[in-house]
């Protein structure tokens, strides 16, 4: 029973993202970059909460990052009329930030609040 509860607790994030994607798809838009947006949001929330010590601020920054990528996708698709390939925008952007993880890991280990 504990395994089922743990699986539900861990999968809640993906269930909420899938619910949001379902609502987007019902409007006729297929956004395949939702995983990249989730990755960037989670990463920015962690970094913000880590350095400020405020999880609420991390949540707000994560929401702002997701909204900014959504706005950029909207501008590219609707206003500029680009090809639907920019639905993958989140997946195009996320790997560039994830390549910085080794550098950020070294930075976090040397500049953590515990080491100050």
Are 23 and 75 found together in one domain? no
Q: Kindly report the pTM of this predicted structure.
A: 0.65
* Helices of type H across the chain: 2-26, 34-52, 55-74, 89-98, 101-110
User: Which domain covers residue 9, as residue numbers?
Assistant: 1-30
Are 60 and 97 found together in one domain? yes
Are 82 and 37 found together in one domain? yes
Are 22 and 76 found together in one domain? no
pLDDT tens-digit map of 3-40: 888 888 888 877 887 888 888 778 777 777 777 788 78
Per-residue pLDDT at 26: 83
Residue tagged 């993906």 (tokens)? 14
pLDDT tens-digit map of 54-98: 999 999 999 998 888 888 877 877 777 776 665 666 666 666 666
Q: How many domains does the chain have?
A: 2
């Amino acid at each position: 029973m504990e395994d089922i509860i743990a699986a539900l607790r861990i999968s809640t994030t993906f269930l909420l993202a899938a619910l949001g994607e379902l609502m987007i798809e019902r409007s006729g838009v297929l956004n395949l970059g939702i995983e990249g947006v989730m990755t960037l949001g989670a990463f920015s929330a962690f970094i913000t909460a880590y350095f400020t010590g405020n999880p609420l601020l991390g949540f707000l920054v994560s929401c702002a990052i997701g909204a900014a990528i959504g706005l950029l996708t909207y501008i590219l698709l609707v206003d500029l009329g680009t090809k639907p390939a920019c639905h993958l925008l989140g997946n195009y952007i996320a790997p560039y930030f994830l390549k910085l993880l080794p550098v950020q890991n070294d930075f976090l280990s040397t500049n953590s609040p515990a080491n100050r």
